[in-house]
Structure 1
Amino acid sequence: MPVSPSSSSVAALAGLALAILLASLGASVANVGLPALAAAFRISFQQAQWVVLAYLLLITLASVNVGRLGDQFGRRRALQGFGAALMLALGMAFVADIAPSDKVGRAMGLLGAMSAVGTALGPSLGGALIAGFGWRAMFWPMLPLGALAFGLVWRSVPAPSGPAAERPGFDVAGSGWLALVLAAYALALTLKLDHAQGGFGALNAALLLVAAIGCGAFVRAESKAAAPLLNLALLRDPALAAGLFCNALVSTVMMATLVVGPFYLARGLGLDAAGVGLAMSAGPLVAALSGVPAGRMVDRCGADASARSGLAGIGVGALALALLPSSLGLAGYLLPLTLMTAAYALFQAANNTQALTGAAARQRGLVSGLLNLSRNLGLITGASLMGAVFAAASGAADIAAAAPQQVAAGARAAFGLAAVLMLLALLASAHGRRKAALC
């Protein structure tokens, strides 16, 4: 590993950061384009939402697979070939390879900042392009930015080394079972199959049962595979297991700001569409500005202490979101949101650094894939769980037409649960740290 940054490592980091930006920009641009797609193809808004849902499902299904492929066949080759799933899954693994050991944290922070920039930029850029040129135009920026990222990665990221014969074969059975598990779980939590009651129906429960059975089959297949997709011994590392668990909980909590936030801002605080958009952009903007400083804090204070501080900050922010907006209005929403997103940037930089620097070089792609897998599972869980808690606590038959007091009650319940989940994450982190010290 280099001891000081070279021009090639700087260019490589720039290419990886641009790839991360493209992945997040693509998702956020697609979100803002849903109404235009619904009108263009004469479909319902719920049907149009499957554009984004399919994107999230594909990334979730691909996370571990692409990390394993990158470890086997070279992360540069994989990054060029498989799009957003590989950008997200392998970008962090590359950073751990090319960044100086004392600057991995700030490099991780940079990637987090670029992801937030893409999320924040997507709605405004996509909206302007759609308004001026139609829905197809929202994909135009991907072409020049993708070409630039491709060139930087091609020229600057190190090619794989070692003869191909030394790389193990691909685990087809494990990949199949994992795909079944993740697809069934994601569909169970996202499909509203019981339209009469609008809630969790028998088919949702059946999908969860399929996921549970498939999980057992996956573990059995991996224990017998000559070259398993997932080395189960990795999950016996208490520090890594705790980090993955906390990563999923944090993503679940942060999803509450995206699911609950728009309804609370519009129905609870009475903001118009433009006001809701501006308030919602505050989170990604704060994350973008705090990414690199958070990485520097990780390098200075250590990944473990920084991760705990991030978890505590998210928990305090969630508790404040449950209590303050009813008395302070919009300021009572934005100030806790600022704390939560800054703490989220700190946790991500610290947790990613801790997980990847502690992994062997030949397993960093897989660990990076697991980090993205846990994040996406958290997002899917958060979208379902937080939305369900919010709707149930509001007591409204139709949340879109709920009274301000009902929306406020739902938000208090959702963000109160978020604070409890962060307390659970802190306890899990402390338990994992104690077990790791005993090993």
Structure 2
Amino acid sequence: MEQTRQSVLDGANWGVMAALALSMLLGSLGTSIANIALPVLVGAFSAPFHHVQWVVISYLAALTVSVIVAGRLGDIYGLRRMHLFGLGLFLLASLLCGIAPTLWVLIAARALQGIGAAFLMTLTLALMRETANETRIGQAMGLLGTVSALGTAIGPSLGGMIIAATDWRGIFLVLIPLAALALILAFISLPMDAGEDRTQTANLRTMITGSLVPSLLANCLVAAVMMSTLVVGPFYLGLGLGLKEAMVGLVMSAGPAISMFSGVPSGRAVDAWGARGILAIGLTMLAAGAFLLSVLPETLGVTGYVLAMVVLTPGYQLFQAANNTAVLADAPKDRRGGISGLLSLSRNIGLVVGASAMGAVFAFGVGTANLASASRAAIASGMQLTFMLATLLMVATLWMTFGRRTQAKRP
């Protein structure tokens, strides 16, 4: 019976991976595609910018607070069933965004879209673990990392092209056929027993074990460091190096571009050499890349910045593939949804910490909150302080991860 089930999964593998990859892409696109429309929405609704910002904030807030609930519902009612529900909700919310008559209706629809995205991005991890071949789990997780980076990278440029061709409504309406395609693929490809028929499920408190907490904390800290590149990078490139806006955007695209090409190879490395070794390499590269960001741009300019990202970004993908694989590899079937939710939650918290706390560190290093009036030397000082701290965080994460595992192996 088990062999028959496995052969069915292997035969439908590409359909399953396409459905789950497209689901992850939708969640990432929803995060990044609306940012480019904010100036247009200010004029379209004659609203102040601090109101229009909620088009982005409502999505991220709803996504963050819903990931645990989405994971738990997947454990209780079935991963496949709840994933299909999330796709349907995302599709409906995208339609409501596209036809919203007022700004506040748009904001409410974006919050609903964020809830749908929570189901997609959380249950996709659990379903990939449930359906992937045991020898290719790392590769499957690497594919999700690649698709997530792709969605984040192409969102602003795709949104800009759509707005130029139509109007702001087009950036939401374009998600409808993609969501419909993902819904059809998921309905056809996902095995009927993928995460279904749960007889019992553990509560959230029992999931947060001593072995899981360090992995979640590492996930949070790594996300904070990566977000700091997106927050601090534009200020340093524009004000510190004096680059024009178009060149800043081009240099900033280096990180997402590297992520797209390094995700699947990172997963294959996990399958070939094991999660623990790749986790060590990934964290080491993250520490090295953060350190290089603190020193190379000041000596080599744009070249130094790109070289540092060439080290940092593959390290992030190696960490993601190894950490997600390690956390989910031995997770009981009735807890995979909830644990996937915890992974998503820790990552989202890290993004918030990176945007707020690391941004505050940068401003402290610059010496003024009015960054536009700061000198190039002050901007460089803020950059160095931020990424020296990021280096220390990654070294501490490396020690915490492997120091804890070494102690766990002792009799």
Normalized against structure 1, the TM-score is what?
0.83
Q: Which amino acid aligns with 2:333?
A: A
Q: Does 1:47 align with 2:51?
A: yes
Alignment coverage as a number of residue pairs: 378
Alignment of 1:340-359 (within 5 A): 340-359=312-331
Alignment of 1:3-402 (within 5 A): 6-82=10-86, 83-160=116-193, 166-167=199-200, 228=203, 230=204, 232-238=205-211, 240-402=212-374
The whole-number CA distance in structure 2 between the counterparts of 1:146 and 1:113 is 19
Partner of 2:169: helix, strand, or coil? helix
Task: Name the counterpart of 2:98.
Answer: none
Q: Which amino acid aligns with 1:20?
A: M
1:358-407 C-alpha deviation (Å, 9 max, x unpaired): 11111111111110010001111111111100011101240133221111
> How many angstroms does 1:278 deviate by?
1.0
The whole-number CA distance in structure 2 between the counterparts of 1:301 and 1:165 is 33
The whole-number CA distance in structure 2 between the counterparts of 1:418 and 1:436 is 27
Partner of 2:384: helix, strand, or coil? helix
Closer, same or farther: CA 94–288 of 1 in aligned 2, 3 Å? same
The question of whether the paired residues in 2 share the 8 Å contact of 1:108 and 1:349 is answered with yes
Closer, same or farther: CA 392–365 of 1 in aligned 2, 3 Å? same
Q: Which amino acid aligns with 2:186?
A: V
Structure 2: tracts of 5 or more residues without a match = 87-115
1:286-334 C-alpha deviation (Å, 9 max, x unpaired): 1011000000001111101111111110110011001010110101111
Partner of 1:236: helix, strand, or coil? coil
The question of whether the paired residues in 2 share the 8 Å contact of 1:93 and 1:364 is answered with yes
1:30-87 C-alpha deviation (Å, 9 max, x unpaired): 1222222222222333332222222111111111111110011011121122321011
Closer, same or farther: CA 164–316 of 1 in aligned 2, 3 Å? closer
Closer, same or farther: CA 366–388 of 1 in aligned 2, 3 Å? same
More displaced stretch, 9-18 vs 425-434: 425-434
1:340-373 C-alpha deviation (Å, 9 max, x unpaired): 1111011000000000011111111111111001
Task: Name the counterpart of 1:189.
Answer: none
Q: Cα RMSD (Å) of the superposition?
A: 1.9
Structure 1: tracts of 5 or more residues without a match = 169-226
Task: Name the counterpart of 1:179.
Answer: none
The whole-number CA distance in structure 2 between the counterparts of 1:110 and 1:360 is 23
Partner of 1:359: helix, strand, or coil? coil
Closer, same or farther: CA 157–369 of 1 in aligned 2, 3 Å? same
The question of whether the paired residues in 2 share the 8 Å contact of 1:63 and 1:372 is answered with yes
The whole-number CA distance in structure 2 between the counterparts of 1:127 and 1:162 is 39
Q: Percent identity?
A: 46
The question of whether the paired residues in 2 share the 8 Å contact of 1:3 and 1:100 is answered with no
